[in-house]
Structure 1
Amino acid sequence: MTEGTALFHVPGLAEPARTWYKIIGDLHSKSTPLVILHGGPGACHDYLLPLTDLSVPLVFYDQIGNGKSTHLPERNGDEDFWSVELFKNELNNLLKHLGLDSRPIDIYGHSWGGMLAAEWAVTQSSSNLRRLIISNSLASMDTWRIGITSLRKQLPEDVQVVLDEAEKSQNFETPEYADAIEVFYKRHLSLARPYPAPEVEAALNWFEADGTTYGTMYGPSELSITGSLRNWTIVPELHKIKVPTLLINAVNDEAQDVTMQPFADNIENSKWVKLDNAAHFSHVDQREEYIRHIQDFLE
């Protein structure tokens, strides 16, 4: 295991940002390394550590804005700064730093990481991409809303009332709202019990420690999408992805079929796996089966 930081020069910052990374395995082996893009934005690498069950070299990193990378709380609410382009540039910078910009690599993205992976995969920078994994993610915010709204309507009526009142008042800091969101999370974030599993807790703790990127790009919670990604879509570009692509979601997932379907429809060489008895953190809820599907795909 190797840890380090890559200097990342960002226009508008007085000093370079630092992207923290961790390598597990030997990047110089014959196996193609898998670069892991975490979700959130701002959930950090910790919650994806079950992927260490894979028998390939792994590159984890924390995207700037949280975790062990540079924090920029002074940029909270700055939608122009916290852009998809920023994180694509950070990924390219990290790959160059690690010497992975000119040799075959595989990319894995979970949730927001899947959005970022798809965004990167349609660019010229992805010419060395061998295989792509998009897990529990979304092809557009419009289709994501359709799925989320459907799940929300299945919540107990008293929970829905609390959620509606919070959105009307724009007060998302009450204990009642926290309790209502937890009802949704227990159904659609992770089915592992006791809740929260350590991986779930790790992601939620990072949002609490520094919610700059999540709050600015997504919103106050999974059920209130007010950030800069509110109108995001990658659907018109998906036909550009030509590499073998594995799609994963789950029956109880926030990422319902309606938001995964455009990936399957528009990526010609794709395979879609849907897991039972699992939610958004499928890698926690059905760890063994999840890892097996990815290992088989990479091999």
Structure 2
Amino acid sequence: MKKPIFFTLLIVLFFNCKEPAKEPIDTATSEAENYLSFTNRDDQFTGGIKMIPITTEKGTFKVWTKTVGHNPTKKVLLLHGGPGMTHEIYSCFDGYFPQESIEYIYYDQLGSYYSDRPDDLSLWTTERFVEEVEQVRKALKLDESNFYLLGQSWGGILAMEYALKYQKNLKGLIISNMMSSIPEYNAYAQEVLGPQLDPKVYEEIKLIEANQDFTNPRYGELLFNHYYTEHVLRMPVEEWPEAISRTFNHANNQVYVHMQGHSEFGITGDATLKDWDIKTRLKEIAVPTLVIGAKYDTMDPKHMEWMSKEVQNGRYLFCPNGSHLSQYDDQKNYFKGIIQFIRDTNKK
């Protein structure tokens, strides 16, 4: 017997009206889209840039920051070197952190190119810079659940000093290419690295320094062509990344000379950092810590390996091809080690 036509139509409608199969959600794409999104962020208008007010005894000034990406558990504040250099020295982080969904914050310290540059030597103290970092942290709402602090060279000094006072706010600490003792750094520069140069070149450098003829173009020429290309960035100067050239062009020499001094073979003269030494206090640092050293660094890699064992929860990353700016001349090892440290710390 034939089925009624309306029954056949019902069957057709039933099968045609079934909910279509859902496409699987690409979680990686979803995370990437969220990482790059500025939705509901208060810095959307400026593309991540914030000028953060800093209160000091000499008044209120503003410092420049730029946040890249969004990750509620991985936020890295970058402390540049110098003192008086700029965030531009970290430009290559754009090539590695985004694909790991690591949020990171570029930051020009007070006195640096993109921030206010007051003309007052009393502002250039380690203690005041530590309080500045703490004010930046609060403004960016970073805390122990997400706050990683990465400091390189002078930024490493600042990161160590911050951790000694405020490590309760940190999730992880990264000390890049910086020793814990300026006297030991001076000894390494003068007794190990200097004598490795061509004797005639080293003698000419020492003569210029003895005469305090630091504005002599010959001094810069000797340093860039014989010392910097061996121990700061191991490639011909003409091949240096444009961001590094910009950093040097934007340097605030007042801050640099007052704290670091003129010489590139240690910190001498009246420079305020010349006696800085916290190596006996490293054991106070309990937060997970990565110390980065490099074979050709201006800093002694053995000392930095020792530092990683002095802190309570340390790890050492050695860059066998790198120098002081290992993020460029040993890039693969540098970023692989940092990313793994952040991954491992985030699991705890």
| Common fold by TM > 0.5 | yes
Counterpart mapping for 1:165-176 below 5 A: 165-176=207-218
1:10 to partner: Cα distance: 1.0
**Conserved 8 A contact 2:143-2:171:** no
- Distance in 1, matches of 2:65 and 2:205, equals 37
Q: Secondary structure at the match of 2:64?
A: strand
TM score, norm. by length of structure 2 = 0.79
Name the counterpart of 2:8: none
Letter in 2 for 1:60: Y
**Conserved 8 A contact 2:233-2:324:** yes
**Conserved 8 A contact 2:187-2:266:** no
Letter in 1 for 2:232: L
Name the counterpart of 2:117: 71
Name the counterpart of 2:228: 185
1:67 to partner: Cα distance: 1.6
- Distance in 1, matches of 2:205 and 2:57, equals 38
- Residue deviations 1:83-140, cap 9 Å, x none? 10111011011111111246431111111111111111111x2212111111111101
Name the counterpart of 1:111: 153
- Distance in 1, matches of 2:290 and 2:340, equals 10
**Conserved 8 A contact 1:67-1:206:** yes
| Bigger Rg over Cα | 2
**Conserved 8 A contact 1:245-1:271:** yes
Letter in 1 for 2:184: T
Percent identity, aligned pairs only, is: 28
- Distance in 1, matches of 2:206 and 2:233, equals 23
Name the counterpart of 2:74: 32
- Residue deviations 1:194-227, cap 9 Å, x none? 44332432332222xx311111100114225231
1:127 to 153, 165, 168: 168
Counterpart mapping for 1:252-291 below 5 A: 252-291=296-335
Sort the Cα spacing of 1:104 and 1:197 in 2 relative to 1 into closer, same or farther, 3 A: closer
1:141 equivalent in alignment to 2:187: no
1:239 to 283, 297, 303: 283
Q: Secondary structure at the match of 1:255?
A: coil
- Distance in 2, matches of 1:245 and 1:64, equals 26
**Conserved 8 A contact 1:47-1:203:** yes
2:205 to 127, 148, 163: 163
**Conserved 8 A contact 1:140-1:235:** yes
Unaligned runs of 5+ in 1: none
Structure with greater contact order relative to length (CA < 8 Å, sep ≥ 6)? 1
Letter in 1 for 2:109: Q
**Conserved 8 A contact 1:147-1:259:** no
Q: Secondary structure at the match of 1:126?
A: helix
**Conserved 8 A contact 1:37-1:108:** yes
TM score, norm. by length of structure 1 = 0.91
Letter in 2 for 1:94: V
- Distance in 1, matches of 2:235 and 2:305, equals 26
